[in-house]
Structure formats: structure tokens, C-alpha cells
Structure 1
Amino acid sequence: MLRDVIDILADPTDGSALQLTDDDRRIVSDSGHSFDIARQGYVTLAGGEGLKHTGDDADMIASRETFLSGGYFAPFVEAVSATINQALDEANVADEDRPAIVEIGAGTGYYLAHALDDVAESRGVGIDISVPAAKHLAKCHPRAGAVVADAWQRLPIRDRAVDVITVIFAPRNPEEFARILKEKGQVIVLTAHPGHLDELREPLGIIGVEPGKIEHLMEKSAGFLERIGEDEVIEFPMELDRASIAAQIGMSPSARHIEAEDLERRIAALPEKMIVTAKAQITRLRLA
């Protein structure tokens, strides 16, 4: 809930502290700005520029919920949660310290909820630009607060307030991450690795993994964040039926680039079940 994380959040315009009103319907800042809390429990914290994009639509979020609830990406979830625990241990952050975890591009809150379950007293903020995503985020976990915001703008988070930032197949903003991260905090980035979903690329014509994503991240991070150790590659097979494949593609950027009828026809031509490779790598970063 937002009440659990209000001390982490900040006015997106000037960074001033926020408080909940007594009726829990609005959030107000020390500088006088006011932000209404939606009836679903999320709040939009956008600066003066507002939100220029809308993010994933309701259909993409429904596909994401369907696919992830099948447990196909469970090894990714477990690896991210284990890395969060490692980061907290290395910073000597105990459960009773109520560590703050912020996920950028949190979607439905699937990864964030698992992390909050794994770290008993932790609190989480899920940030996503999509309102349909925020509606799911708001109910993903009792200790999670859902915020609609743009990851490329100033994040509505206080300076030096966050123990761990997670970025799961989502936008990376190293300058802002460095601002909100505590001195011993870490950023955990999960990035699709070449080979991810390769068995589907040719028959479905879906978008491939962009080369050099980690190198680009490190270039943008110069002066703000530095790499910790070696990256960890997680690779595993998934047995997917056609419905699961449709959900996987429906939650991805490829959903915007393939006409629905074409996609349906291509999926119908696939075997009833396929073994598909999932492959991604975890990169850990700290303040430079």
C-alpha cells in the first residue's frame, strides 16, 4: 500500500517530501502539490511535462498476467530474488531495517511481489507508465505501492532512499538510479540475452534481441554507476502450448508490430507444444 512507502516517495517536480491526507484519498507535498489516489489504489506522480506515453495497453497487460501466472519465467523470478537478497546481505541490511525495493517498469508486479515475499519486512514501489499495469500493481502485494510515472523523467523517489532497484526487461535511467540509491545500494538489471525465444523468431517473425544492450547500459552509466563482478546468465527450456505462446507474444513489443490476424495464423501453424529457450542475464551495479 502507498502508506507503507510514502517516506520513499517524492514530489516529481521538486523532490519535496510527500504525506497522505487523513482520508487516504490524496497525497500532498511539502511544496503544496496534490496528487489524487485512484480508487484502485495507485497514484500518478508526473512532473510538469506530464506523461508523454501510455505504455502497455490493457490487452498487453492481460497477456502478461496470463503468461507469468503460468510460472514459465519462474527461474528468472527466483534468480532476481536471490540477487536482491545477496545485495541486501552485502550492504548489511537486515529484514528489520525494512529495506526499500523499487522496480522500474514493474508491469503487473509479478517480480516485485515475489521479492517482497522473499524479504520479510521489505517494502516495494512499483513504477510503470501504464495505467492498466498500475491497477494490477496496486493489488500485487500488501507492502507494495503502485506509481504511474515515466522512467525517463525525474523519478518520484527521494534522494538516497532505496536499497535495491530492479529493472526487469525495462528502461534504464542510470543518472536517476544513482540519485535515489543508498550509498551501499545496488541496481539489478535483467536483460534478454541473444538466444531468448529464438525458436519463435523465424516462424512468427517477432523482434530479435537488440545487440549490445549491456554495452549501451554501461556507456550511459559512466560517472553514475559501475558494474559489480561478472554477469550471471540464466537459461532454461520452457514447454509452451499455442495459447501460452500467444500470451508471450501479446505481452512483448512484437504485439505492436504484427497484425493480430497474421499472428493468429502463424501461431496456428505451430506444433501444439514447443520447447522454447528462455535466456537472460543479470547485471549488478553500484554507485560509481
Structure 2
Amino acid sequence: MLSSVIDVLADPADGSALSGVDNFTRLVSETGHSYDVARQGYVTLAPGQGLNHDGDSAEMVAARETFLSAGHFAPFVESVSHAALDAVEEAGIPDEAAPVILEVGAGTGYYLAHTLDRIAGARGVGIDVSTAAAKLLAKSHQRCGAVVADIWAGIPVQDASVDVISVVFAPRNPAEFARVLKPGGRVITLTPSSGHLDQLREPLGIIGVEDSKLERMRTQAEGYLTMAGEPAPIEFDMTLDKAAIAAQVGMSPSARHIEDLPARVEKLPETMTVTARAHLTQWVKV
């Protein structure tokens, strides 16, 4: 719920504090700007002319919900939530302090909800540019506030207000991460690594993972964030049927580029063993 994180949120126009009015049907800033809360419980915090793009479509969001809720990516989910718990414990944050977890590109809230369940008393801010995703994100956990925003236009939260930032297969804005992160806070990124879902690439024509992804992340973070330790590789096999494969591809950027996906999926075996590969990386402020 937005009320659980209202002290963290900021006016995207000028960074001033927000408060809920009219039974939290609107958020109003100290400088007089007003933002309507959608009936589904999320708020769009975008400066100027609003969002520059729509993010994932309703079909992609539905595919994501179908795939993730089946537990296929459970090792990824556990790794992210465990790393967030470790970050909170290492920072010495007492339970009564209600640590703030920000997930960028939070989608349906599947990862963030698991993290909030893992960390007693934690509060979550989930940000995604997709309103279709935000409708589910707002309902993902009672201690989660759902925000529609474009992180490249700025993250609408207060300076030094966030204990942990998680980014799961989503864009990164190191300058903004450094701004909103508290001293001693951490950024946890999960990024696909070379070979991720390789068994599906040739038959379905899905997009490959660049080999230099981690090095590019390090370059982008220079001056803002530095890597804490070495990236931790995560690799596991999944047994997927055709419906699960269609959902997995349907939730990814490849969904926009494959016009004949159902026909390609139909030609696959009834089940396939598919390997998931990623790196979990942790970052601290420079």
C-alpha cells in the first residue's frame, strides 16, 4: 500500500515530500503538485509530459505472472531475497526501523513480495514503467507501494531514503541509485549471463545475451557505485512444457520480435530441459 511508504516517495517535478489526501486517492506534494492514485492502488509519478514509453504490454505481464507463479525461477528469487536480507543485517538495521527495499523494474511484484516476506517489517517500493504491471504490483504485498515511473527521468523517492535496491533483469540508473541509497546501503542486480536459455534460441529465435554485459555495467556505474565482491554465478536447469516456454518467451523482450511464436513453440518437443544462467552482483556507493 502506498500509505506504508509515503514518507519515502517524492514529487517527480521537484523532489519535495508527498502526503496522502482524500483517503489516499491523491498524493499531494509540499509544492502543490497533485497525483491521482488509480483505483487499483498504484500512482503514476512522472514529471512534465508524463511517460515516454509504455513498458510491458498486458499480454507480456500476464505471461510473466503465469511463468513466475509456477516457480520456474525459484532459485533466482531465493538468491535475490537472501542477498537483500544479508544486506539489511550487515548494515545493522534494527527490525523496528522498517528498512526500505526499492525494486526497479518490479513488474508484477513477484520478487519484491518474496523479499518483503523474508525481511521482517521491511517496506517495499516497486517501480515499473508499465501500468499493466503496476495493477498487479499494487496487490503483490500489503507492505508494498506501487509506482509507475521511468527511472531515466528520475526515481521519485527521497534522497538517502532506501536501504536496498534490487534490479532483476531490468534497466539500471547508477546516478539515481547512488542518490536514493542510504549510507551503507546496497544495490543488488541480477543479470542474465551468456548461455541463458540457450536451448530456446535457435528454435524460437529469441534474443541472445551479450558477453560483455557485466563489464558494461561496471563502466556505467563508475563514479556512482562500485562492485562489492565478485559476481556470483547462478545456474540451474528447468523442465518446461510448451505452455511454460510460450509464457517465458512471451514475458521477455523477444515477444516483440517473434511474429510466429505459437507456430514455433508448437514444433518443440512436449517438454524441454532449459538452462537458466545469471550473475548476482552487489554494489555500494563510491
Instruction: Detail structure 1 runs of 4+ shifted over 6 Å in the superposition.
Output: none
Match of 2:262 in 1: 264
Q: Which amino acid aligns with 2:93?
A: V
Match of 1:4 in 2: 4
- Where 2:59 maps in the other structure, the secondary structure is helix
> CA offsets per residue over residues 20-67 of structure 1, 9 Å max, x none?
004211000001100000000000000114200000000000000000
Q: Which amino acid aligns with 1:252?
A: S
- What does 1:52-131 correspond to in 2, within 5 Å? 52-131=52-131
Which of these residues, 269, 272, 275, is aligned with residue 274 of structure 1? Answer: 272
Task: State how far apart, in whole Å, the 2-side matches of 1:98 and 1:90 are.
Answer: 15
What is the root-mean-square deviation of aligned Cα atoms in Å?
A: 0.7
Match of 1:229 in 2: 229
TM (norm. structure 2) is 0.99
- Where 1:146 maps in the other structure, the secondary structure is strand
Match of 1:133 in 2: 133
- What is the CA distance between 1:99 and its match in structure 2? 0.3
Q: Which amino acid aligns with 2:146?
A: A
Q: Which amino acid aligns with 1:32?
A: G
> CA offsets per residue over residues 150-209 of structure 1, 9 Å max, x none?
011111000000000000000000000000000100000000011110000011111001
- Where 2:150 maps in the other structure, the secondary structure is coil
Task: State how far apart, in whole Å, the 2-side matches of 1:104 and 1:183 are.
Answer: 19
Task: State how far apart, in whole Å, the 1-side matches of 2:174 and 2:127 are.
Answer: 15
Match of 2:241 in 1: 241
Task: State how far apart, in whole Å, the 2-side matches of 1:50 and 1:22 are.
Answer: 23
- What is the CA distance between 1:210 and its match in structure 2? 2.3
- What is the CA distance between 1:211 and its match in structure 2? 2.6
- What does 1:20-31 correspond to in 2, within 5 Å? 20-31=20-31
- Where 1:152 maps in the other structure, the secondary structure is helix
Unmatched 5+ stretches in structure 2: none
Match of 1:202 in 2: 202
Task: State how far apart, in whole Å, the 2-side matches of 1:142 and 1:23 are.
Answer: 17
Q: Which amino acid aligns with 2:38?
A: A
Which of these residues, 282, 285, 288, is aligned with residue 283 of structure 2? Answer: 285
> CA offsets per residue over residues 118-149 of structure 1, 9 Å max, x none?
00100000000000000000000000000000
Task: State how far apart, in whole Å, the 2-side matches of 1:204 and 1:144 are.
Answer: 36
Once the two structures are aligned, what percentage of the paired residues are identical? Answer: 62
Task: State how far apart, in whole Å, the 2-side matches of 1:164 and 1:49 are.
Answer: 30
Task: State how far apart, in whole Å, the 1-side matches of 2:212 and 2:49 are.
Answer: 31
Q: Which amino acid aligns with 2:267?
A: A
Q: Which amino acid aligns with 1:85?
A: L
Q: Which amino acid aligns with 1:151?
A: I
Task: State how far apart, in whole Å, the 2-side matches of 1:162 and 1:49 are.
Answer: 27
Match of 1:38 in 2: 38
Unmatched 5+ stretches in structure 1: none
1:159 aligns with 2:138: no
Q: Which amino acid aligns with 1:194?
A: S
Q: Count how many residue pairs are aligned between Structure 1 and Structure 2.
A: 286
Task: State how far apart, in whole Å, the 2-side matches of 1:155 and 1:82 are.
Answer: 24
